[in-house]
Structure 1
Amino acid sequence: MSIIYSTFTSITNKINDEFHKSFLFTVVFSILEFVENQWVNSYFKKLYPNEDFLNFLNKNRILKYHIFNPLIVLFLFALFLLLSINSPSASLTITLIIGFLSFFIGSAILPRYILNNNVENVIKFDKNDIYSIGFCIVLISIAFFFVSVATVGGIPLLKPSIRYLLKPMFTMPVFLIIPGTCLIASAYLKDYQNKTITRSQVRFRFLFLLAMNCTFLLLLGYRTPLLAAFLVLIIIGFYGNIISLWEVVVGAILGVGAIIGIGYYRSLGELTITSSTSPIYTLQSRADFTLHVLNLLDFIGGNFGVTHGKLLAGAIPGSDLGPRMMVGKLIAWRTEVTVTPTLIGQMVADFGKVGVAIGMCFLGFILGVGFKVMRITQNYFYIGIYSLILTYTILGIETGILDIQVLLYFAIAIFIYLISIVKSKN
């Protein structure tokens, strides 16, 4: 395995070096360096509130130390369910209780019994390797962005009708910009930890990475991947002491407000609601529909499931139907639509209540181990990888964890954590 890693990183390092030596990238980075220096020395930057702004938030230990604890998944899942206009069925209520308890055991209890000794033996990664890998992944995603735009003959943001012509085989690689950004941001965090760059410099670079994500993802007309980019950078920044707690809280409030506002005005434009409708109705109706889907999947799945792994296997490229299309077929016999099944929808459809118990416990355990390793080591890479899998778990509350690239992120994280657990015992 070390030979494969060495070969892979030597290739990515060479590609990274060649691109950075090219005329185009020399010009681009020179411009960015100039803008960064102007930012760092800007008078207007001094007008921005400092870390002590809204200092009363820091007195809350839960917010200060555990705002991105794995248990935030349960809190947000419960909040999402409460948004629904209707209530879950009695059977689904039991399933949810099983899922919540299993996740709590996996994330808060089981990790206490591992990695208590020799944590310094966890795998260490070279910062240059991580940056090079992230840089190459971002290059691939940008290349596929232009391929996607070329295949539909326009920019989906400017021509919304052509968004439905985008082909998943071209758009899925574009979403690699998120893990690529995560790795690059982690490398910048390492530079900040080593005091190679200042806090102002690393904050500017995080803003640039966010702006880059906004540019490419918004032009394609996608909102969920953009939210993923926001969350990844916020979590890395928070645990890397790059952004303050008040910025996280204010950012969350503004983010929720933006989601409500965009959904409301988009619905007004599509004539699906009237101006007299509550602005949060769009969120309520979306949560209500997803809960209705989950009620149906729970009824179909029962105690032991009905599809027995076929739903999860549908994420594999080349499958006749994707997992969300299979959900549409299960509940309505419509294969031309994609339906979001929530975090536990696939588990209950594939393996029933038993599957929810095992799946949520396992998912909680992965996040619990990641959180523990990150908190103990404060290692830049483990902050990044935890941020990535927590982000997609939070987004999966509605959409489910069913995309092949997201499953790959979790597989890599599991592999790294397992090796670290084994090494810690030596």
Structure 2
Amino acid sequence: MSVIYSTLTSLINRISDEFHKSFLFTTIFTILEFIENQWVNSFFKKLYPSENFLNFLNKHQILKKHIFNPLIVLFIFAIFLLLALNSVSNSLAITLMLAFAGYIIGSAIIPRYFLNDNLENILQFKERDMYSLGFCLILISVVFFFISVASVGGIPLLKPSIRYLLKPVLTMPVFLIIPGTCLVASAYLKEFQDGKITRSQARFRFILLLAIDCAFLLLLGYRTPLLAAFLIIIIIGFYGNIVSLWEVVVGALIGVGAIIGIGYFRSLGELTITSSTSPIYTLQSRADFTLHVLNLLDFIGGNFGLTHGHMLASSIPGSDLGPRMMVGKLIAWRTEVTVTPTLIGQMVVDFGKVGVFVEMGILGFILGIGFKLMQITKNFFYIGIYSLILTYTILGVETGILDIQVLVYFAIAIFIYLTNIIKTRN
């Protein structure tokens, strides 16, 4: 395994180095370095609020130390359910209680018995390898962005109707900008931890990465990947002491506002609402519809499930129906639409109430181990990978964890975490 890893990282480092030596990227990085120096030394930067701004937030230990604890997933899930205009059924209420119980046991209780000894055996990753990998992923996503835009003959943000003409085979690589951003940001965090760059420089680079993500993802008209980039930057910055607590809180409010705003204006453009409709209604109606879907899936799944793993397996490219299309078929016999089933929708359809308890326990354990490993090591890589899987779990509260690339991220995290557990027990 180490030989394969060394070979791949060597190849990726070589590719990254060649691009950095090219005239185009030499020019780009020279310009960015000049802008960075101007920004760091700018007088106007002093006008920005200090770390002690809204200092009362720092007095709340839960916010200060545990704002991105794995249990935040349950808090957001509860908020999402409360947004819905209708209530849950009695059967679904039982399913949700099992889901919450399984997740709490997996994330808060079981991890206490792991990673307590031989911490010097924890896997270490090189900053240069992670930066090169992230850089290459961003390059791939940028190339496929232009291919996607060219394939539909316009920019989806400006012409919302053509968004539905985008081909998943072309847009999926665009979303590699998310893990790419995660890895590059983690590498910058390592430079900050080693004293190679200042906190101001690290903050500028984080903002720059977020701006690049916004530029490409927003133009495609996608909200979820844009929010993913936003969350990842905030979580890495927070645990790396680059972003202050008050910025996290304000950033969360901005993120919610972005979701509401983009959804509102997109709905106006598609003539599904009028300008007199409340902006928050789009969020409420979306939550209500998704909850209605979950009620139906819970009824179909029962105690032991219906599809027995076929929905999760349908995430694999080449399947006749994707998982969200399968949801559409199950509840309405329509395979031409995609329907979001929430975090537990796939679990209850595949394996019923029993499966929800077990799968939520496993999901909680993955995040709980990741959180503990991050806190123990303060390592740039483990901060980055935890931010990645936590982000997609939070977003999965509505959409479910069903995209193949996201499942790959979780598979990589599971492999790394289990390897560390085994190594620390020896």
Q: Give 1:275 shift.
A: 4.6
| Residue correspondence of structure 1 range 17-416 to structure 2 within 5 A | 17-416=17-416
Once the two structures are superposed, residues 112-149 of structure 1 have per-residue CA deviations (whole angstroms, 9 ceiling, x without a partner) of 00001122311000111111111111111111112112
Q: Is the 8 A contact 2:223 2:259 kept in 1?
A: no
d(CA) in 1 for partners of 2:423, 2:204: 37
Tell me the amino acid that sits aligned with residue 320 of structure 1: D
Identical positions, percent:
79
Tell me the amino acid that sits aligned with residue 84 of structure 2: S
Tell me the amino acid that sits aligned with residue 293 of structure 1: V
Once the two structures are superposed, residues 347-368 of structure 1 have per-residue CA deviations (whole angstroms, 9 ceiling, x without a partner) of 0000000110110000000000
Tell me the amino acid that sits aligned with residue 37 of structure 1: N
Give the aligned length. Answer: 426
Q: Give 1:283 shift.
A: 1.2
Q: Is the 8 A contact 1:238 1:248 kept in 2?
A: yes
Q: Is the 8 A contact 1:120 1:377 kept in 2?
A: no
Tell me the amino acid that sits aligned with residue 196 of structure 1: K
**2:279 is paired with a residue of what secondary structure?**
coil
Q: Is the 8 A contact 2:160 2:270 kept in 1?
A: no
Partner residue, 2:419 = 419
TM-score, normalised with respect to structure 1: 0.98
**1:85 is paired with a residue of what secondary structure?**
coil
**1:136 is paired with a residue of what secondary structure?**
helix
d(CA) in 1 for partners of 2:105, 2:353: 16
Consecutive unaligned residues in structure 1, runs of 5 or more:
none
d(CA) in 2 for partners of 1:226, 1:269: 19
Q: Is the 8 A contact 2:348 2:356 kept in 1?
A: yes
Q: Is the 8 A contact 1:83 1:284 kept in 2?
A: yes
d(CA) in 1 for partners of 2:145, 2:325: 24
Once the two structures are superposed, residues 304-361 of structure 1 have per-residue CA deviations (whole angstroms, 9 ceiling, x without a partner) of 1001111001100000110000000000000000000000000000000011011000
Q: Give 1:274 shift.
A: 4.2
Once the two structures are superposed, residues 234-279 of structure 1 have per-residue CA deviations (whole angstroms, 9 ceiling, x without a partner) of 0000000000000000111122223223333443444433455433
d(CA) in 1 for partners of 2:121, 2:84: 46
d(CA) in 2 for partners of 1:29, 1:134: 16
d(CA) in 1 for partners of 2:275, 2:138: 41
RMSD value, Cα: 1.1
